[in-house]
Amino acid sequence: MSRERRAVFASVGLVAAVAVWVYWPALNNLFLHWDDLVYLKRAMVDRTFTLDRIRVVFTTTYFLNYHPLTTLSHALDCRLWGMNPAPHHAVNVLLHAVNVGLLTMLLWELLAATRAFNAHEQLAVTVGVALAFAVHPLQVETVAWIAERKALLCATFSLGCLYAYVKRARTTTLVLFALAVLSKPTAAPLPAVMLLLDVYPLRRSAGVGWRRLVGEKLPLFAMSAIISSVAVWAQAAGHATTTLERLGVAARCLVASRGAVFYIWKLLWPVGLSPYYPLEGMITLRDREFSLSVASCVIVTVVAIWRRRKWPALVASWFAYLALIAPTSGLVQMGGQAVADRYAYLAIVPVLLPIAWTIVWAWRRFTIVGQWVLLAAVACTFAFWGFKTRAEIGVWHDDETLWRAALAYFPRSVRVNGNVAMALARQGRMDAAEPFADFAVRANPEDPLYRTTRGLIYLTRHSYDEALADFEVAVRSDPDMAVAHYDLACVYSRLGRTSEALAALREAVSRDAGFRRLAQRDEDLANLRNDPRLAASVRELFGKEP
């Protein structure tokens, strides 16, 4: 083994070990009701790994997404560890470390292809960029949130796919790309990224020609189109996509431009990170935040195209960055978030490379004193990122810490207030939850989650008429919400309206059989269970197997 190859393997081990060390406190975190428990509840069913279950996983969209490999990953965790959160978090941390190692190997190959660095500079840039990817605070959401297993798994196969492409292993590239998009559809832009690598640093476009370069990637583009269509269809079927009537094309372009600038700014200055950034308020070019973002994107794009021959690295980096954030940029708006830290997980790499290149450029021109100052600045930056990342991991400890952190930045957000209320209500802290629930209900009176949360607060206080009003709105707004039907049954029972309680309980059990067992011991349903007129019906309902 050559000296350089030994140095690369040592670097892989080093940066991966640093990633594990920085993120190890995530193992103290709990499951979150924000998607974690939703995914894992499904995974507890899929963990049987029968052929029938695997067939269902690959032919079904879960929770508005199509990511069968991620679903199987959660199922395997549940089979091995059950519902102990620490091992689930450990798998996320280890996947991140694997991604750091794969990135190190990929960077070494790409930097070698540039022929712009000597061996020491090449190793320094490789380790520096990989280390930044490993410890930057923007990565915390992806690593510390179990539900983002899909992004980590997708990144593993995506980085492996790009490495195989650089090494010209066509079959391996195709297989790994398929695994990537089956982990998360956001891997769809990878063929476009490969074309950009053909421009620089691989420089294949001049010798091979664009027709051949595009032609050899047609199977990849076909898979991208199919998976993207399935993903958009799944989101639209669940009414998770925002219609053009609500958010027009111009507004989507403004949101996407702001997002492109947002991630670069947070990469450079990772302060004020929030678990949730609501898409609220007016979206207009008259807003300075949007106008400056659009101007910045246009300027960088024009300069990149204008100087494409002299600065091919800028062209490749900028357009690779735009390609990687495109699926979650807001051009197809899904959910209520404007941006999310997790969307930048892989996308920060094309931005880090020009920054590292600039540092090398400065290093070559500085005196010894200047070089020591530059080295100290880089070391301090990494230290700051490491400490900041450790602090951000604690934000994801539980539901309350998560939404309290978001509340600090967005105190007027309806969703944030509603989720704080739900987090506090789950702990039985009804007095603390009430003002947040009131705020959410006043702002969005028809939302079934907020109504159910406030109704539960009233129910525990024995304010049954107020609870009844909230639960009736909840079941009217979302007739499939099992917990709202169950809580409505509890209120009817408390009020002595046992026939209505039985009907509501039937609705709840028909949607979630787990409520049958709870109903047999719930004090709120004592009047229903003890009503002799309904004894036969109650026995029949309770006697059915889930």
192 in the same domain as 178: yes
Q: Choose the final residue of a domain: 395, 429, 459.
A: 395
331 in the same domain as 223: yes
C-alpha radius of gyration, the chain, whole number? 26
432 in the same domain as 299: no
120 in the same domain as 240: yes
244 in the same domain as 105: yes
With tokens 């930097």, the residue in question is 111
Q: Which among 177, 198, 173 has a CA at the least distance from the CA of 188?
A: 177
Distance CA 323, CA 321 (A): 5
Q: Choose the final residue of a domain: 377, 395, 413.
A: 395
Rounded to 5 degrees, what are φ and ψ at 347?
-65, -20
Q: Up-side HSE of residue 384: CA atoms within 13 Å toward CB?
A: 11
Residues 6+ apart with CB under 8 A from 319: 192, 196, 304
129 in the same domain as 110: yes
Q: What is the pTM of this model?
A: 0.92
Q: Which among 445, 418, 396, 269 has a CA at the least distance from the CA of 336?
A: 418
369 in the same domain as 315: yes
Helix (H) or strand (E) holding 430: helix 430-443
The dihedral of CA 326, 330, 332, 337: what is its sign?
Answer: positive
pLDDT tens-digit profile, the chain (546 residues): 677 788 888 999 999 999 999 999 999 999 999 889 888 888 887 777 888 888 888 887 776 778 899 999 999 999 999 999 999 999 999 999 999 999 999 999 999 999 888 988 999 999 999 999 999 999 999 999 999 999 999 999 999 999 999 999 999 999 999 999 999 999 999 999 999 999 999 998 777 778 888 989 999 999 999 888 887 777 666 555 665 556 677 888 888 899 999 999 999 999 999 999 988 777 888 788 889 999 999 999 999 999 888 889 999 999 999 999 998 887 776 667 789 999 999 999 999 999 999 999 999 999 999 999 999 999 999 999 999 999 999 999 999 999 999 999 999 999 999 999 999 999 999 999 999 999 999 999 999 999 999 999 999 999 999 999 999 999 999 999 999 999 999 999 999 999 999 999 999 999 988 888 888 888 999 999 998 998 888 888 887 544
Distance CA 273, CA 409 (A): 9
The enclosing domain of 417 has a CATH number of 1.25.40.10
Distance CA 157, CA 340 (A): 22
Domain count across the chain: 2
438 in the same domain as 382: no
354 in the same domain as 236: yes
236 in the same domain as 366: yes
Q: What is the DSSP letter of 306?
A: H
The range of the structural domain enclosing residue 515 comes to 401-543
281 in the same domain as 190: yes
Q: Which among 298, 289, 304, 301 has a CA at the least distance from the CA of 258?
A: 289
Distance CA 437, CA 358 (A): 50
236 in the same domain as 112: yes
Q: Choose the final residue of a domain: 365, 395, 425.
A: 395
Q: Up-side HSE of residue 103: CA atoms within 13 Å toward CB?
A: 31
